[in-house]
Structure 1
Amino acid sequence: MSQQQMLKALAQSSSSQGKLIDELEKFAGDPLPSNLVNDYEKQQPFVMVAMVNPDNLQALDELKNILRHRGLILQRLVITQEDYQHLINYYLEEQTKKDAAAAKKAEQKELELESGFFESADLEDAADETGVEDIAKSLSEAEDAPVIKAVNVILVKALTEGVSDIHVEPQEEFIQIRMRKDGVLQEYFRFPKKVIPAITSRFKIIANLDIAERRQAQDGRIRKVFKGRTIDFRVNSLPSRYGEKIVLRILDSSSTQLGLDKLITDQETLALVRETAGRPFGLILVTGPTGSGKSTSLYSILAERNDPGINISTAEDPIEYALPGITQCQVIREKDLTFASILRAFLRQDPDVLLVGETRDKETAKTAIEAALTGHLVLTTLHTNDAAGAIARLDEMGVESFMVSAALLGVVAQRLMRRVCSQCRIEYKPEPDEFRRYGLVPSQEEDFTYYRANTIPVEERESLAERGELCRKCNGIGYKGRVGVYEFMKITERLQTLITQRAPTEQIKEAAVEEGMKPLLQYSLNLVREGHTTFEEVERVTFTDSGLEAEMKRLAKQNLICKCCNAELEPEWVECPYCMTPRFE
């Protein structure tokens, strides 16, 4: 039958007999799980379903099973494959228009998250008794109010706690929600196994991910408004054994204070970084693992250089902070808009300062160095463990050593350590062996005050809170906030020579220390002496064999460590009392 005949038959079979339904979108609904059926018009308690093959028993059983749970009765209507395809195409076109309109409306209307959802979220209503993951059912349940409230609870909790990442992790018997606060993952929620599909689907829906795609990783983005602040969430989904794991990175520019003096506590390091960042041309690298604050450091340099007389342009993926007066470009790999291509375009736009979010390949690295050599200040990041390692990383990318030595001004390596809570920290005197473990001389540490964190076991915090005995600042964690650890390697003539000669990383690092660089371990130990953090945090974040070796070499050069037996020496001793080795030779 033709499309018009089918419409007449459908209209005559409904309660509005004789009335021709001209607007197809009135009864073109979401496709059901089977590819052969489409729900056109629902007249309680009947559902009229147009089918190309009404004798498809598998499709009929699936339909009846779905409708039975909703108290509905199936009625069939036969149509041709041509009419079916025409209606589906029409529906998809209309749905695309509706989705585009809805997306535009959503952008214009900021969605406010309310903390009141904490009281009303009840996941029991989202139960899936069958235990079967059905895409249509997941989509339906993901739109249920309890699931929406639960996801909002998770987002609000994350924003209230000031976490950096949210991990939605399906397990064998439950789904756990962990959040990274001050660099450490902590569990916040645990929900029943039966709601795994609904919760993961809800996150995918609001991040504009394909809910039907469960075999490939996907990237998306969420934007919300919380207490007047616009918050971006960078979302990634990944198939795992028990369901899709969702990880959200929170990008809250309003909570970050830009400025090098707000980040770097050591005045000597601060002065060196500022002096180098004020140069008119050259390359500055910022290195460190993911989540170590590299972007904040780069933006702080830009904030201090930002001036009406300077043209600053950035290539980012994603754009994390909006800076007034600066041209910021988003990388779009699908459109061949990469770091390298954006950087080449910038060079034709009379730039002064350029920022490249990350140098990942030889093309980007060479383009950045060429820009630095032609009169521009270029800032970019690398993933290396320390400042000296950046040289080897560029060499691995295939960048010529003479170009690196000519362009490079300095390398900043950094980490983030938790601040010990100033309200409940515990003063103590470390044992001599603890000092020696970090390359410290006990006799020289007597004038400093050391603290350890007053960390309360998780199972005891609730009872202490009820009695009002829990620290209100850190809630029993022992730490509150983070402090940066920085290692700045300024490129001197000696280092330029070593780079050109392709010297080993350890030789470059040793030379940098002799030229005045404070290694990460030394910087972090100074933070311990100043009462900002603890030895436990040093152990967790910056303590490495190579770092300890560099610190021991530094102390040995001060003649406070015996070069023969590594025993600690007093400043007034002229020889080691243990092995009789002369101190000055």
Structure 2
Amino acid sequence: MTPEQASELRRLQVTTGMTSPMIAREMMSISQDEIDAVMQVRACTVYVDARHVGQSAYQTWRDDIRRLDHSVRFEEVDARVIVEMRATKTSMQVAEASKGQGNLNNVKQILSYCATIGGSDLHVLQREDHTEMQIRVKGDLKTMKRAILNPAEGEAFVRSMYTGLATVKEATYNPLSFQDAQIKGDSLPGTMLSSIRIIRGPMFPVETGGGFTVARLQFLAAKKYDSAQIQIASERLGLVEPAKPEGEFRLGKMGFTQHQVEMLERLIRRSMGIIVVTGPTGSGKTTTLYELTKQQARLFPHTRLVTIENPPEYPMPWAIQLSCRSEEFPQMVRYSLRMDPNAILLGEVRGVDEALAALQAAMTGHLVLTTLHVTDPFETFSRLELLDNVRLSRQVVCNHKQVIGLISQRRVPILCGNCSRAGAGEFEKYPGYLQRALKSWAGARPYGLEKVKVRGKGCPDCNYLGIIREQAVAEVVVTDEQLMVDCIEDGVLIAGRKHRKRPGSDKSMIEHAMDLVLDGLLDPSDAEHEVDEIPIWEGTNG
């Protein structure tokens, strides 16, 4: 088919609405053999993410394509298949680019500059729309503002480092696998490097090309560079402080009290130990972890957070986010410890392996944040002991230098101020135990139970729900030596009661819930249902 015939075919296809073969056969006097030859060359397959095949926009687009061109096939596949196909195509394109000597020289130059300024670890972070590099110098991460690359350049840089410089490595570079490699120091003469150890792999979001590479520079001896050389290297790299997340610490607006926010700030300023957030499914544990790590990144932007989740729920641009299945968890923790982290977020402790991995990370000098499904903060120790009464016994786990903080929380519904009803007329409908408990709390406020309210029938202000929002009710525990001794000697229930009575300690969740009840913000029935049975008030914590 000549170019002129192809142009005429496209024009007639648009104006008549007929398919390409019909036009060619009926209006352009082209033989069937010629049509078949063209269709064979033009034939293509469109691979479609199976999650989107039911969407009307996709179906309309697909039908339009089919009407215009019968040579196009549509095949529904899993999202992972599409990711792998994209990675393969990108790898083939980048493989050619990475063979260039200029790209290899760029890798060598940046590694040499890193050695000149005394850098210990180079972090290459491949994001959806760019690749950035950071270097750890004297313990702090610095971003190289003059080494920002586009995604293709970033992939070529990593591939050149792995395939062009590394001598100890796997036979094939695979963007979707975790891989180790080593570069000999003599590849970078004059740097006094003995070797560079590399760990690389995919990071969230994998489907848009997310990946990380951490290169650890190991020196034979400290080479003395003069100040001019160091200044030149620093200027060439353009070292600046990593970007801080925008916004403010939001937990205070989500229901946590000022005292609790201060204790949480105290915990995330620690450099090592485990912080455990507990509660049932849907209680807001993941949101709390997100806000804690975000605030930590504001306070310490020069540190590295690595997260291990199944799957990641919130994008964290300040972190390296790894996605893994439960059976991969222990191996992933071992990987993460080699990725130059300051802090590690473990999505959830579900079994012995996860718990031991969290302890190992804390014992090796990292801050660890994780979640656990227990209903009371002090039950954390009982739950761990049930998983393994030898390796996770209270005698092993109850160390205030190891487990530094416990946070337990629930989400409770806040009443609509317009349609909520006075509670006084409703108390007689409650069972006797609840009436007695509520009456005992009259002494907790000068105004007694006057402000207590219950859910109304709903109104336009609350979209006829009777509530206007949900907020957290929590208890925050900063552990200390006495608490841990009490847990070992007296058990967690007695230890918890003793701790709550000590000056500076937080109240229990149900006491915080009762503050909301007495102020007319929370229905007593909701407090009991969502938090705990309302106890008889004794005028003290516990």
What TM-score, normalized by structure 2, do the two folds share?
Answer: 0.51
Listed as ranges, the matches of 1:251-270 within 5 Å are: 259-270=250-261
Are 2:264 and 1:273 aligned? yes
Equivalent residue for 2:436? Answer: 436
CA distance in 2, matches of 1:426, 1:95: 55
In 2 relative to 1, CA 332–351 (structure 1 residues): closer, same or farther, beyond 3 Å? same
Listed as ranges, the matches of 1:210-359 within 5 Å are: 259-306=250-297, 307-332=300-325, 338-359=328-349
Deviation (angstroms), 1:487: 1.6
Equivalent residue for 2:455? Answer: 453
Q: What do residues 265-310 of structure 1 show as CA deviations (whole Å, max 9, x unaligned)?
A: 4222222222222212111100111111001111111111103221
Give the letter for the 1:485 counterpart. V
Are 2:40 and 1:19 aligned? no
In 2 relative to 1, CA 442–103 (structure 1 residues): closer, same or farther, beyond 3 Å? farther
Are 2:530 and 1:541 aligned? yes
CA distance in 1, matches of 2:304, 2:466: 45
Any stretches of 5+ residues in structure 1 without a counterpart?
1-10, 30-90, 105-255, 457-470, 560-585
CA distance in 2, matches of 1:447, 1:426: 17
Q: What do residues 217-238 of structure 1 show as CA deviations (whole Å, max 9, x unaligned)?
A: xxxxxxxxxxxxxxxxxxxxxx
Preserved contact between residue 259 and residue 303 of structure 1 (Cα < 8 Å): no
Preserved contact between residue 282 and residue 372 of structure 1 (Cα < 8 Å): yes
CA distance in 2, matches of 1:290, 1:297: 13
Which of 398, 410, 432 is the aligned partner of 1:405? Answer: 398
Other structure's SS at 2:332 match: helix
Equivalent residue for 1:125? Answer: none
In 2 relative to 1, CA 370–507 (structure 1 residues): closer, same or farther, beyond 3 Å? same
Q: What do residues 405-442 of structure 1 show as CA deviations (whole Å, max 9, x unaligned)?
A: 22111211110011111232223436486552347333
Deviation (angstroms), 1:257: 8.6
Give the letter for the 1:415 counterpart. R
Deviation (angstroms), 1:556: 7.0
Preserved contact between residue 285 and residue 382 of structure 1 (Cα < 8 Å): yes
Preserved contact between residue 351 and residue 387 of structure 2 (Cα < 8 Å): yes
Preserved contact between residue 435 and residue 442 of structure 1 (Cα < 8 Å): no
Deviation (angstroms), 1:447: 1.1
In 2 relative to 1, CA 97–387 (structure 1 residues): closer, same or farther, beyond 3 Å? closer
Aligned residues: 317
Deviation (angstroms), 1:27: 11
Preserved contact between residue 311 and residue 326 of structure 1 (Cα < 8 Å): yes
Are 2:519 and 1:524 aligned? no
Equivalent residue for 2:9? Answer: none
Preserved contact between residue 435 and residue 441 of structure 1 (Cα < 8 Å): no
Aligned CA-pair RMSD:
4.1
Other structure's SS at 1:410 match: strand
Q: What do residues 79-130 of structure 1 show as CA deviations (whole Å, max 9, x unaligned)?
A: xxxxxxxxxxxx99977699849997xxxxxxxxxxxxxxxxxxxxxxxxxx
Preserved contact between residue 315 and residue 343 of structure 1 (Cα < 8 Å): yes
Are 2:356 and 1:396 aligned? no
CA distance in 1, matches of 2:42, 2:541: 84
What TM-score, normalized by structure 1, do the two folds share?
Answer: 0.47
Any stretches of 5+ residues in structure 2 without a counterpart?
1-20, 46-71, 87-246
Deviation (angstroms), 1:258: 5.9
Preserved contact between residue 358 and residue 381 of structure 1 (Cα < 8 Å): yes
Preserved contact between residue 276 and residue 371 of structure 2 (Cα < 8 Å): yes
Give the letter for the 1:510 counterpart. R
